[in-house]
Amino acid sequence: MRNVKKEIAELLAAQVESLTAEDIEKLIEIPADPKMGDYAFPCFRLAKVMRKAPQMIAADIAKSIEGNTLFEKVEQVNAYVNMFIDKQEFARLTLGAVCEQGGAYGNTEGGKGKTAIVEYSSPNIAKPFHIGHIRSTVIGASIAKLYEATGWNVVRLNHLGDYGTQFGKMIVAYRKWGNKEDVEKEPIKTLLSYYVKFHEEAEKDPSLEDEARETFTKLELGAPEETELWQWFRSESLKEFSRVYDMLDIHFDSYNGESFYSDKMPAVLDELKAKGLLQESQGAQIVDLEPYGMTPALITKSDGSSLYITRDLAAAFYRKKTYHFDKCIYVVASQQNLHFQQWFKILELMGYEWAKDCVHVPFGLVSLEEGTMSTRSGRVVFLEDVLKAAVEKTREIIEEKGVNTDNMEETAKTVGIGAVIFQELSNYRIKDYVFSWDKVLNFDGETGPYVQYTHARAASVLRNAGAEGRKFDVSGMDLSYICGDAGYELVKLLYRLPEVVADAADKYEPSVVTRHIVDIAQAYNKFYHDERILVDDEAEKNAKLLLTYAAKQAIANGLALLMMKAPEKM
């Protein structure tokens, strides 16, 4: 599709010697008020170079480009050149691209030929898959889709937390207070109760902590009994995790967790020693990062057991060798900022130039209305319970409103789970927020159900017109019928979808897409209310159906980037 902004930049570059077309493209704005044009170019920056008042520069530029066929009109307003694009031509190129690309509309090719690894979700084995995990899970899954939409080959990794002292605690607790039948019946809730019990008892008897550390050391050394229990905990946990992933329609290419890299750590330690980076400190091995403004990084504990940082280094080397990634993205809470800064710096100190291709994408935390979640105290909200409650609430609303749907259960699942995902992805990822049942299950306002309903409304219009499944084509269409205020505003939003998707990928920020498809839905609903679509005049009706089809397709494509389905009836 033609890049209008780029064309304008090239046109302006011929009039402005001091800036390149690339510089100008970055300066071009989209006015908030449509009366100020479709695009605006500020001239403040040129005043010093051209030694003229910005208003005079704007007037000269406006005069020099006003005859170009790209524009309906060009105006100088103060220090701005305001440009109004020819509406029908703009509608033709936008809707033509939607018709031609269909489900691929919004995609670009900036990452073609490159590979990105996205590591996300990564829950801890034998612990609850709680509402806090939804952040990494859906933000990461959406980033993976955004990268695919911008041309990258994407590898999805679930780096399971299946190693560490916590498993020493779990094994000790199971031996003292557990039984096999309870674990098999409700694995996560039962194992959580053991974990909570361990910390309650350890407060009374601190020697339990030493026993747990000794047990984990045995596990690291491959002791058969400890290994068998650990593998069983892992297997039972994955069954429960998979059930939630299926509900969210989220999949991974690999579930290699921390344990997978345990036999790859000695090589990392040897290399750190060989390169003179390891130092001993109170029996532990560290890398001193104080010269770089960070605390020392603990590589192995005094008892010789490994830590997260050692396993992350081993994982990075394995991934580079296996996948030859151009970018490795870690979607992990902002609490771990220092951890990532430390081991990225260690990679760099080891001499690996590709350390710059490892990217930590942090996000804010979820807390409960009654305070912070804690697996140690058992104060958690299970993600599966949230998803089931959302489906049940949606089913009640469908029954209450007598919604026309072919499959009640499928619609309730599509809309209910979609509501939870959309609410999560509508927040800026870096912001902390408080989980509220009322907010998650509120379907009014700028929500997932609102966007899905708008898609279903557009589908209904096409069905009523006998145009369901019709192959639309802009050739021969009289697009003047959709260039009124409401129609043209919608066209402009549709045109921007590829730019928005690329921007969201670049910023690792799915909420950019979430907000844009809300804007498209609101614009289509305004068009629907302001204009009669199914009119007698065939030329007018066809143009309006074309715009309806394009809006429906763009909403569906946007929802897909958020792992959401677009119902035809609702």
Give me the domains of the chain, ranges plus CATH numbers.
Answer: 4-85 (3.30.1360.70), 115-259+315-368 (3.40.50.620)
Give the DSSP letter string of 245-270: HHHHT---SB---GGGGGGGHHHHHH
Active-site choice (5, 6, 73, 133): 133
Distance (Å, rounded) from C-alpha 261 to C-alpha 512? 35
Lowest mean pLDDT among 194-198, 370-374, 415-419: 370-374
Element (H, E) at 71: strand 71-77
Q: Is 133 a catalytic residue?
A: yes
Tell me whether residue 159 is one of the annotated catalytic residues: no
Neighbour tally for 222: CB within 10 Å: 10
Q: What is the mean pLDDT of the chain?
A: 93
**Other CB atoms within 10 A of residue 395 CB:** 17
**Cα(249)–Cα(530) distance, rounded to whole angstroms?**
37
Flag whether pLDDT at 305 surpasses 80: no
**Tens-place pLDDT, residues 492-546:** 999 999 999 999 999 999 999 999 999 999 999 999 999 999 999 999 999 999 9
Average pLDDT over residues 283-306: 90
pLDDT band for position 114 (50/70/90)? very high
Confidence bin at 209 (pLDDT 50/70/90): very high
Asked if 116 and 132 touch (Cβ cutoff 8 Å), the reply is no
Sorting pLDDT into bands at 50, 70 and 90, what band is 375?
low
- Mean pLDDT of all residues in 441-448: 80
* Dihedral (CA of 232, 238, 241, 247) sign: negative
Residue 364 contacts residue 429 (beta carbons within 8 Å): yes
- In this predicted model, what pLDDT tens digit does every residue of 61-83 receive, in sequence order? 999 999 899 999 999 999 999 99
**The two three-digit tokens of residue 285, written as one number:** 């091995």
Q: Give CA–CA dist 460/289, Å, rounded.
A: 62
**Distance of alpha carbon 484 from alpha carbon 88, whole angstroms:** 10
163 vs 56: which has the higher pLDDT: 56
Share of the chain above pLDDT 70, in %: 98
Could you please report the per-residue DSSP string of 93-108?
HHHHHHHHHGGGTT--
Report yes or no: 98 and 458 within 8 Å, Cβ to Cβ. no
Q: How many of the other CB atoms lie within 10 Å of CB of 484? A: 13
What is the spatial distance between Cα 362 and Cα 351, in angstroms, rounded to a whole number?
25
d(C-alpha 303, C-alpha 322), whole Å: 31
Q: How many CB atoms lie within 10 A of CB 476?
A: 7
**pLDDT of 441 over the 90 cut:** no
- Biggest CA-to-CA distance, the chain: 86
Task: State the Cα–Cα distance between residues 80 and 237, nearest whole angstrom.
Answer: 60
Question: Confidence class of residue 308 from pLDDT cuts 50, 70 and 90?
Answer: confident
Q: Give me the phi and psi of 505, to 5 degrees please.
A: -65, -45
> Would you say the pTM of this structure is higher than 0.85?
yes
Strand partners, 77: 80
Residue 298 has pLDDT above 70, yes or no: yes
The per-residue pLDDT for range 331-360, each reduced to its tens digit, is 999 999 999 999 999 999 999 999 999 999
Report the run of H or E that residue 87 belongs to, with start and end. helix 87-101
According to DSSP, residue 325 is labeled -
Which residue is catalytic, options 127, 159, 360, 544?
Answer: 127
Helices 497-507 and 538-560, interaxial angle, to 10°? 10
Is pLDDT at 440 greater than 80 in this prediction?
no
Q: Span 259-286, mean pLDDT?
A: 93
Select the highest-mean-pLDDT range: 145-159, 258-272, 294-308. Answer: 145-159
Residue 15 in this model has a pLDDT that exceeds 70: yes
pLDDT value at 370 more than 70: no
Query: CA-CA distance, 41 to 80, in Å (whole number)?
Result: 5
H-helix or E-strand spanning residue 279: strand 278-281
**Which residue type does 483 have?**
C
Residue 455 annotated as catalytic:
no
Identity of the amino acid at 461:
V
Q: What CA–CA distance (Å, rounded) separates 530 from 152?
A: 40
Exposure string for 417-430, b = 16+ CB within 10 A, e = fewer: bbbbbbbbbbbebe
Q: Is the pLDDT of residue 166 over 80?
A: yes
More confident residue, 103 or 263: 103
pLDDT tens, position by position, 223-247: 999 999 999 999 988 988 999 999 9
Confidence of residue 549 (pLDDT cuts 50, 70, 90): very high
Mean pLDDT, residues 374-393 taken together: 78
What do you get for the CA distance between the two ends of the chain, in Å? 33
The token pair that represents 62 in the structure block = 């406006």
Which two tokens mark 304? 């010789």
Query: What is the percent of the chain with per-residue pLDDT over 90, rounded to a whole number?
Result: 77
Least confident range from 134-148, 384-398, 510-524, 530-544: namely 384-398
Closest by CA to 156, choosing from 252, 68, 220, 65, is 252
Q: What is the pLDDT of residues 455-501, one digit of tens each?
A: 999 999 999 999 999 999 999 999 999 999 999 999 999 999 999 99
- Other Cβ atoms closer than 10 A to 60: 16
- Residue whose C-alpha is closest to residue 156's, from 30, 256, 44: 256
